[in-house]
Amino acid sequence: MTETLLVSNVVLWCIVIALTVVVVALARQVGILHERVAPAGALMPGNGPKIGELTERQALIDLDGRAVTIGGASAEGAATLVLWVSPTCPVCRSLVPTALSLAKRERLRLVFASDGEKIGQHRAYVADLGIERHPYVVSQALGMAYAVSRLPFAALIAPDGTLASKGLVNTREHLESLVEAMTSGVASLQDYVRRVDGVSARPVKEKAV
């Protein structure tokens, strides 16, 4: 009986050790795959204004009656991040703190945009999120100008008024990719990755001796 229990314990320990080795191997493989996966950027639609084009200046009024200008060269010399949100969009709500943090870190002018006729609902939404310090405009025309069809959607306008980047933003990585696209001078983060991969894939020419 004692020998049977001893054999069983040995077998169990062998199984535990084998499983540990398998888990370590899988974790290592996951790490390798993670390094090979390109960073996820905002999904950029093909319609609407193109990257690099000069945006049209639009004079709007926010919920508090303040004049807000979106598009064109910035008088403050700062890039403008326009984030389209909605009181009925759960993802939008979770992304607002990220937008606030990003705007503060990158010194961006942050403007929230939406549409709809229920102004009271928008006011309650602004108060609930604590974003009273930032302009919040309700304008269907603005959304149509940037071809916004799904939310949350963001557009980053460079200080000179050109459209630096745009796209659907569901995560922090998506939102941050807009800034990365502007600073790197490419249309999107995916385009940047393709360029880098293309350069690294080129054969190296041997120098003549």
Residue 48 domain-assigned? no
Kindly state whether residues 68 and 16 are assigned to the same domain: no
pTM given for the model: 0.72
How many domains is the chain partitioned into structurally? Answer: 2
Q: Are 159 and 74 in contact (CB under 8 A)?
A: yes
Residue 116 domain-assigned? yes
Residue 117 domain-assigned? yes
Kindly state whether residues 91 and 189 are assigned to the same domain: yes
Kindly state whether residues 19 and 64 are assigned to the same domain: no
Read off the DSSP letter of residue 47: S
Kindly state whether residues 68 and 169 are assigned to the same domain: yes
Q: State the residue range of the domain holding 18.
A: 1-29
Q: How far apart are CA 63 and CA 132, in angstroms?
A: 9
pLDDT tens figures, 168-198:
999 999 999 999 999 887 655 445 444 545 5
Residue pointed to by tokens 């984030």: 83
pLDDT tens figures, 91-137:
999 999 999 999 999 999 999 999 988 999 999 999 999 999 999 99
Kindly state whether residues 129 and 189 are assigned to the same domain: yes
CATH number (domain holding residue 77): 3.40.30.10
Sequence-ordered list of residues with C-beta below 8 angstroms from that of 72, at least 6 positions apart, any chain: 54, 55, 56, 57, 161
